[in-house]
Structure 1
Amino acid sequence: MTEPLDQLRPARRQTLSEQVFDTLSEMLLSGALRPRDRLSLRDLAERLEVSMMPVREAVSRLAASGALEVSPKRAVMVPLMTAVEFADLTMVRMLNEGQAARLAAERASKTEIAGVVALAERFEEVLDKAYGSAAAVAANKDLHFAVYRAAGSPALMEVITMLWLKAGPIINFDIGVDTGAPRSEDITHARSHHSRAHHRQLCEALRARDGDTAARAIAEDIRVASELIRAHGALDTDDNPRRIIP
């Protein structure tokens, strides 16, 4: 009879390609990369101290999902997105991320809920002190992904992560990254930011195990952010299709 341990295989170490993929993914999720940003494969390889092969493999994976765009000349760019494409992506995010919040309300442990509440408080603190900063973007992402992990659905988490890879370069402008606004305007925006109210609603819903309200809070957070971005974002009409760009 085969012993259970006989079926084990050596632990798989993360390949260089996976490390590069994770690094680029985090840059997309955090808004460090923005629409129209161009990437040099050679520069990436040099900065990450790897050969060109793992960089090409990682970029190919992200391009296959639509998070990056590779031209016939092998130039790599963060793609632009038409207003219609952005609206469609927003709808899909509302459905999937709303469902994740609903599941989190039903399945999350008390410890996970406490963690989400702490991250919501952290987001408000950072928003007041550093509106428009990378720290504010990171705090918002950390909060959202804590909720999605608490849903306990690896398949749904995978879908949501892929959606954020596409949306990240745009949606993070809702928090005012590099808007160039005067400091007084930054403070006003921070104190009235819509996510503050939606995150509070979410936390109350999680505590009450109210899945429907949790789903609505996340969906509304996404919807309002999308409308603000579409209303205030610059539009590129050189080739006729309206494209949302920062």
Structure 2
Amino acid sequence: MVISKRIEPTLLTDQVFAMIHASILSGDLPAGSRLKVRDLAEQVGTSVMPVREAIRRLEEMGLAEREPHKGAVVKSLTYEELIHVYGVRRLLETEAARLGSENITPEDCQRMQAEYELMRKAIDEQQVIALLDHDEAMLAILYQASGNPVLLQMIRTLWQQCRAYKIVGAQGSLDSGTDDSLWRYQQDLVTAARNGDAAAASAVNEASLVDATERIRARLAEQATT
């Protein structure tokens, strides 16, 4: 299994939650994986109670769910949820890009560029999780410039909820070998931010999320037939 590190008997629930949560976001525990309480407790070296509480938190976050005859599992991917989550992301992230580009500093634009370059390196190395991490870091710099911490926090929560979808989409683009959608929109977004072009930044995010939704939808359909 993917969780092997043992932890000290302090703040057990928080630590167990953090470890399982990280494994889900990294893709080590993919959608549909069973979260067996006793197995997880043995792997992390705790009793079953902290694991049960950690799984309850994951269910509240929308990262785990109960299935008949299986118990808790990492939440499965569905077309309906994809449409709903990405629809909300479009509403929030187009506005965050617009506001951020109106207020971002040259120093923050340089930080965005640095994260963009690290993202391109991760793409070249076929490192899905690293490219998503750097992409989110780049976007967070822009969104933080909006001056609305609640907006950024809501977006971060959505990123966690749809990380499994993002992995599917990114991996599909990497596998194609010719898809530039993983970096083309981000490049345009950095340019829009540097120019303080709110309309362009908003439009880039809109186009990026529409494109991502379609790529992930196609990937899910392809997986359903295999």
How would you bin the TM-score normalised by the shorter chain? Answer: 0.7 to 0.9
Q: Name 2:190's counterpart in structure 1.
A: 203
Superposition deviation, residue 84 in structure 1: 2.4
Aligned residues: 217
Uncovered stretches (5+) of structure 1, i.e. residues with no partner: 1-13, 237-243
Q: Name 1:65's counterpart in structure 2.
A: 61
Superposition deviation, residue 89 in structure 1: 1.3
CA distance 1:88–1:162, shift in 2 (3 Å): same
Q: Name 2:5's counterpart in structure 1.
A: none
Q: Name 1:90's counterpart in structure 2.
A: 86
Q: Is the 8 A contact 1:198 1:221 kept in 2?
A: yes
Q: How does 1:108-187 map to 2 (within 5 A)?
A: 108-128=104-124, 130-131=125-126, 133-176=128-171, 181=175, 185=176
- Give the counterpart letter for 2:185 in structure 1: H
Q: Is the 8 A contact 1:35 1:245 kept in 2?
A: no
Secondary structure at the aligned position of 1:103 is classed as helix
Distance of 1:224 and 1:214 partners within structure 2: 15
Secondary structure at the aligned position of 1:176 is classed as helix
Superposition deviation, residue 202 in structure 1: 0.7
Which of 214, 224, 238 is the matching residue for 2:211? 224
Q: Name 1:6's counterpart in structure 2.
A: none
User: Which structure has more RCO (C-alpha within 8 Å, separation ≥ 6)?
Assistant: 1
Q: Is the 8 A contact 2:31 2:75 kept in 1?
A: yes
Distance of 2:13 and 2:141 partners within structure 1: 26
- Give the counterpart letter for 1:98 in structure 2: T
The runs of at least 4 consecutive aligned structure 1 residues that moved more than 6 Å come to: none
Superposition deviation, residue 168 in structure 1: 0.8
Distance of 2:51 and 2:141 partners within structure 1: 29
Under a length normalisation based on structure 1, what TM-score does the superposition of the two structures give?
A: 0.74
Q: Is the 8 A contact 1:132 1:175 kept in 2?
A: no
- Based on CA coordinates, which of the two structures has the bigger radius of gyration? 1
Distance of 2:146 and 2:20 partners within structure 1: 25
**Could you say what the CA RMSD is over the residues aligned between the two structures, in angstroms?**
3.0
- Give the counterpart letter for 2:199 in structure 1: D
Distance of 1:30 and 1:123 partners within structure 2: 16
Distance of 2:59 and 2:218 partners within structure 1: 28
Q: How does 1:2-17 map to 2 (within 5 A)?
A: 15-17=11-13
CA distance 1:88–1:200, shift in 2 (3 Å): same
Q: Name 1:3's counterpart in structure 2.
A: none
Q: Is the 8 A contact 1:205 1:213 kept in 2?
A: yes
Q: How does 1:5-44 map to 2 (within 5 A)?
A: 15-44=11-40
Distance of 2:12 and 2:225 partners within structure 1: 32
Uncovered stretches (5+) of structure 2, i.e. residues with no partner: 1-9
Q: Name 2:6's counterpart in structure 1.
A: none
Q: Name 1:45's counterpart in structure 2.
A: 41
CA distance 1:36–1:107, shift in 2 (3 Å): same
